[in-house]
Amino acid sequence: MKEKIQQIRQQIEEGLASVSLRKSLFELKMKFLGKTGEITALLKGMRDLPPEERPEMGKVINSAREWAEEAFAAREEELKKAELEDKYASEKIDVTMPAAFSAYGTEHPISMVRRELVDIFAGMGFEIFEGPEIEKDYYNFQALNIPADHPARDMQDTFFITEEFLLRSQTSSGQIRVMEKKAPPIKVLSPGRVYRSDSDATHSPMFHQMEGLVVDKNITLCDLKGLLDEFARKMFSSETKTRLRPSYFPFTEPSVEVDVSCCDCHGKGCRLCKGTGWIEILGAGIVNRRVLENCGVDPDVYSGLAFGMGIERIAMIKYGINDIRLLFENDVRFLKQFKD
């Protein structure tokens, strides 16, 4: 029995010398002092000894157990101290070294253009209204003089959730909500995301739109032209000119397409403007009488002007971007070009 205890002591000493992790130390301790450990087995085996030998052997085994417990405790303290020193060493900071480089992002071009547009029109007295992106068919189409059987719906084929609700295809729905709740005069700008089932180099199924509405007495196309002239000069350059071309929209009458003189060639003709000297940027017109009537506004007393533009299109023209998909690919090589 004494020889067995001596062997156990030697094994413990060798194990303590080689162990370097507290987890391994715990496993070694359980091997000798656990419920099924070797020293514990010796204590259980005393019942097989003659009664006269049990007191002496009990002292020897208990002494070995106490020694082992102290040895394991001492080694655990040593490992704790070593781990703490390693942790301090790894977290040590040399305050004399230069700080680690931290890359800074930049504002997205769509956000930059949206902010600039809001600043321009807010400076002309427009209030900002952002309507819901999940909209009722009534506000998105019917109140804008586009009934269920109107062919203009084909141009704005969109994403219906139910027969009544859809992802809005235009922010004009926000203008209807404003006219229902507020009496003229009205001067409101409605920016936000819109959705249409288009996807190519110049169209995206989700894009950003900004529409403006002015309702007051004696509003004419002259007011619209002057408003857009001021917008174009502030957005592109002081030399930018605008022109209006007849067009058709169900919610305006008369309706126009608005072009600006090419910001690259200044009207001489280039690749950007396809040799015409002009670039189409938005649609506009005088608010249709039926739209005013739908919102409870007397068209014999008040008239209005409305315009709408795609923020991505303005960004593409302003920064010379030839593919709308670049704006949504999150490629840092593209985005870092817009850093101030």
Binding residue per annotation — 66?
A: no
Where does a domain end: 90, 125, 157? 90
Task: Give how many domains the chain has, as a whole number.
Answer: 2
Domain assignment present for 100: no
- Contact between residue 69 and residue 33 where contact means Cβ atoms under 8 Å apart: yes
Domain assignment present for 96: no
Instruction: Let me know whether 243 and 284 are in one domain.
Output: yes
pLDDT at 185: 95
In the chain, how long is the greatest CA-to-CA distance?
A: 123
| Nearest-angstrom CA–CA distance, 189 and 174 | 9
Instruction: Let me know whether 149 and 31 are in one domain.
Output: no
Where does a domain end: 33, 58, 90? 90
Domain assignment present for 82: yes
Instruction: Let me know whether 46 and 164 are in one domain.
Output: no
Instruction: Let me know whether 239 and 141 are in one domain.
Output: yes
Q: What is the mean pLDDT of each run of 10 residues along the chain (340 residues)?
A: 78 85 86 82 78 79 84 89 86 78 81 94 94 93 86 74 91 94 95 84 83 96 95 91 92 94 78 83 95 95 95 89 86 80
Write the CB contacts of 324 (distance below 8 Å, at least 6 apart in sequence).
201, 202, 203, 204, 207, 312, 316
* β-bridge mates for residue 182, sequence order: none
pLDDT at 68: 85
pLDDT at 155: 67
| Nearest-angstrom CA–CA distance, 41 and 58 | 12
- Tally: H helices and E strands in the chain: 12, 9
Domain assignment present for 27: yes
Instruction: Let me know whether 61 and 133 are in one domain.
Output: no
Phi, psi of 21 (to 5 degrees): -125, 145
Q: Say what the pTM is.
A: 0.66
pLDDT at 123: 94
pLDDT at 99: 76
pLDDT at 27: 87
Residue 140: which domain range?
109-338
Domain assignment present for 155: yes
pLDDT at 202: 64
Write the CB contacts of 58 (distance below 8 Å, at least 6 apart in sequence).
43, 46
Instruction: Let me know whether 84 and 127 are in one domain.
Output: no
The model's pLDDT over 45-81, given as tens digits with 9 standing for 90+, comes to: 777 778 877 777 778 878 888 888 888 888 889 889 9
| Nearest-angstrom CA–CA distance, 13 and 19 | 10
Instruction: Let me know whether 86 and 193 are in one domain.
Output: no
How far, in Å, are 79, 80, 92, 95 from residue 86 at the CA level?
10, 10, 10, 19
Instruction: Let me know whether 137 and 74 are in one domain.
Output: no
Domain assignment present for 313: yes
| Nearest-angstrom CA–CA distance, 114 and 93 | 43
